[in-house]
Amino acid sequence: MSTNVYLVMRLSGGLQAWGLDSQYTYRNSGLFPTKSGVLGLCCAAQGLDRGSVAESEWLAEVTSCNMTAIAIPKLRSAGDRQTPISVRRIEDFHTVANTKTAKGDSKDALTYRQYICDAEFMVLLRMPTELADNLKTYLENPKWGVWLGRKACIPSAPVFAGICADLDEVSELFLSGKPLQTFTYQEEVSGFPVGTDTLQDVPVNYSVDNRTYGLRRIIVHEAVF
């Protein structure tokens, strides 16, 4: 019988973008990494083609693995004092050339895209040991480029952090020995009554012309000091 472990990923960079509910003109970003974004990063690391059989088979193995995203505060030093840096959303726009309209002609279109700044996360994927070990190999030496939600959002640190047996080990190695409850974190839960929100970010197919996502139930825990 396979043992479940925590695959730990560090998502740190100047910009991140985790789209939740928009794919067209206005492309928003959530304040936590999406499961589709994290697993998409893992697919890129493995060199899995969009919509391929290999991608579908791998997603079928991992989409049921619970994900927890922990917000790690960044600190600003001023003398002997350290104060947390607030995570901010910013927005820019892109011109997309030759966009087809409903009338069938083409024109240039503006799209507005949100990013989050000054954010860092530790993401935990609860999965069988064999799956974690295999993914470790690719995250340490990815076949394709990996990014934090969009191609412009390049990681500023190695994405693979480690594999831990339990949350106590996660705390000791990656949270400065502090318990999980001292951080704000988003937890995937198994039952509807337990959660407080539903996200449509469980990837079934990343094919460009047939992207498909399932639902998951989550709850956000605010930090307790």
Q: What is the pLDDT of residue 102?
A: 66
Q: Coil, helix or strand for 39?
A: helix
Strand partners, 185: 70, 221
Q: What is the C-alpha separation between 160 and 146, in angstroms, rounded?
A: 11
pLDDT of residue 70: 98
CA-to-CA distance for 40 and 59, rounded, in angstroms? 9
pLDDT of 75: 77
pLDDT value of residue 69: 98
> Token digits for 93?
């726009």
Split the chain (225 residues) into runs of 10 and give each run's mean pLDDT: 90 92 77 96 96 94 96 83 82 78 75 90 97 97 95 94 97 96 95 90 90 93 90
Structure tokens at 120: 């860092």
pTM exceeds 0.95 = no
Q: Return the number of other C-beta atoms located less than 10 Å from residue 89's C-beta.
A: 14
State the DSSP H helix or E strand holding residue 16, giving kind and residue range, or none if neither.
Answer: strand 4-16
- DSSP letter assigned to residue 157: S
Distance of CA 66 to the CA centre of its chain: 13
What integer pLDDT is reported at residue 23 of this predicted model?
65
Q: How far apart are CA 155 and CA 95, in angstroms?
A: 25
Tell me the torsion sign for CA atoms 77, 78, 83, 89: negative
CATH architecture designation of domain 4-74+117-221: 2-Layer Sandwich (3.30)
Calpha distance 75→118 (Å, rounded):
10
- 183 and 70 Cβ atoms separated by less than 8 Å: yes
pLDDT the model gives residue 27: 81
